[in-house]
Amino acid sequence: MSEKWNANDPSRRHFLRTAGWLGSLGALGGAKAFAAEPATTQLPFANGERELTREFPQKGEMLLLRTRPPMLETPFDVFDQGVFTPNNRFFVRWHLAYVPTQIDADSFRLNLHGQVGKSLSFSLKELMSDFETVELAAVNQCSGNSRGLFHPRVAGGQWANGAMGCARWTGVRLKDLLDKAGVNPAAVQVRFKGMDSGALPATPDFLKSLDIDHARDGEVMVAWGMNGEQLPLLNGFPLRLVVPGWYSTYWVKMLNDIEVLDKADANFWMAKAYMIPDTPHASIVPGQTGVKNVPINRLVPRSFITNLRDGDKVLAGHATPVRGIAFGGDAGVAKVLWSNDGGAHWQESTLEQDYGKYSFRRWHAQYTPKARGDNTLMVKAINTNGVEQPMEANWNPGGFMRNVVESIKVQVA
C-alpha cells in the first residue's frame, strides 16, 4: 500500500471531477424489483432461482437475494472479464433495514473518540487533503459466500459464488488517523460503526471491532474510492473500512464512527454473530455441540474456472483455453493447479499479472481432451503460506468460509 495519491496527479483530478463527491446521492431503487415477469436465472442448488435486477442505484444487472436491506449477488460471468470487479456489478450485502439514501457530503463527519489523547472529527475534505492517500487492491468477500452450496443446508442468505469482488481501494491508513488522535496505552480494540440502523429500537447497531495492533498495522484503510471512482452508495458511500485479507463483515460501510476501546468488544455482532468453530477449516459435523467458537477472521484461498461452465461442450483433439481467478486469502497466490481427470493428476497453470497479495490473480492453461465423453475439470490455489484448498467441503451452522476445490463437468464431443 505504498502508492500515494498525489494532489496534482491527473488521476486524482479525474476522480474529483467524476466523483461529484460534494453532492449527495439518490434514493434506493428496487421498486420494480417485484415486476410481474422479471428475468431470472438458476443457481446450482435447490430453490436457486433468482431474479435479475437493474433497479438499484449505480448498479447494473445483479442477482436479487433480498430488497431491503439489499442483498445483490454478482453474476458469475462478470469474473471472467478481468481482475477487478466493476463497481456497478460489485456484490452488495447490508444487515440492517434502514440504509440512508441521501448523504450530504459537505456536512458529513467521521468521528474518532474513546481511548485516545484527543477526540477528533474529520470532514471528507480533511481526510483527502491532510493525510497521505494510499491505494490497495484487495478482495472483499462475504463470510457466507457460496452458502447455498452447503450440505446439509444452513440458514442465511443463499449465495452462490458471487458474493465477492476485487477492487482498487483508495483512502487513508487507519493508523494515521489513530496516530493523530494519540492512542492511549490502555487501548485494546477499535470499534467501527456505520450509518445504517435497525427498524426497531431493540435492534443492535451493526458494530465490528479489530484488535488495536491489527487496526494499526498500516494496511487497514478508511476508503472513499473504489476502482478510481467514489464508492457507490450501496458499497458504503462516503467511507468504508477496508480490512485486507479479512472477511467482509469487518468492512463497515457508511463508516462515521470509530471508537477506541479499553476492553474486548462484547457486542452482538462480535460475540454472538459471525462466529466460527475453532477447528481446522472451521468445520464440524452437523449436529455437533460443545465446540469452542471464535469470531470469523482471515480469508482462506479460493480459485475458480470462469470461462467454462458445467455442461459446456469441447472438441476432442482441439486445444481449449481454460482460465479463471484465484486469491490467496490473507496471503498471496503461490500457484494455481488444475486437473482434467477429476483430481487424479494436477498441472500448474500460468499466473498472470500480480496486483498484490490481497488481489484476485488471473490464471490460464490449455486443455486438449483426447477422448470423447465426460471430463471433470478442477482447480485449486495454494497461497504463499502453503495453505491449500481442501478437497472436502467444510460445514458449520453459519455456512461460513467455504473454500473447497471447485469442479465443473464438460462434455467432450
Type of residue at 276? I
Which strands make up the sheet holding 333-339, listed edge to edge?
313-314, 406-412, 373-383, 333-339, 347-348
Task: Give, in order, the Cα–Cα distances in Å from 233 to each of 138, 166, 238, 256, 368.
Answer: 19, 17, 7, 14, 45
d(CA 281, CA 401): 8
Q: What pLDDT sits at residue 219?
A: 98
d(CA 167, CA 103): 23
Q: What is the pLDDT of residues 181-190, one digit of tens each?
A: 999 999 999 9
d(CA 74, CA 370): 35
d(CA 1, CA 135): 6
Domain boundaries, the chain: 40-93, 109-141+163-295, 302-412
Specify whether the CB–CB gap between 80 and 362 falls below 8 A. no
Q: Please, what is the average pLDDT of the chain? A: 92
Task: Give me the CATH topology for the region 109-141+163-295.
Answer: Sulfite Oxidase; Chain A, domain 2 (3.90.420)
Specify whether the CB–CB gap between 53 and 62 falls below 8 A. yes
d(CA 203, CA 405): 38
Chain centroid to CA 258? 21
Complete DSSP assignment for 169-214: EEEEEHHHHHHHH-B-TT--EEEEEES-B-SSTTSPP-EEEEEHHH
Q: What is the pLDDT of residues 49-99, one digit of tens each?
A: 999 999 999 999 999 999 999 999 999 999 999 999 999 999 999 999 999
How many Cα atoms sit within 13 Å of 373 on the Cβ side?
Answer: 6
Q: What pLDDT sits at residue 38?
A: 73
Task: Give me the CATH topology for the region 302-412.
Answer: Immunoglobulin-like (2.60.40)
Q: What is the pLDDT of residues 241-289, one digit of tens each?
A: 999 999 999 999 999 999 999 999 999 999 999 999 999 999 999 999 9
Nearest Cα residue to 183 out of 127, 260, 122, 241: 260
% of the chain exceeding 70 in pLDDT: 91
Is residue 16 over pLDDT 60? no
Q: What pLDDT sits at residue 26?
A: 36
Q: What pLDDT sits at residue 36?
A: 57
What one-character DSSP code corresponds to residue 33?
Answer: G
Q: What number of other Cβ atoms are within 10 A of residue 337's Cβ?
A: 22
d(CA 383, CA 156): 29
Specify whether the CB–CB gap between 144 and 403 falls below 8 A. no
pTM exceeds 0.75, yes or no: yes
Chain centroid to CA 146? 12
The more confident residue out of 347 and 201 is 347
Specify whether the CB–CB gap between 50 and 63 falls below 8 A. yes
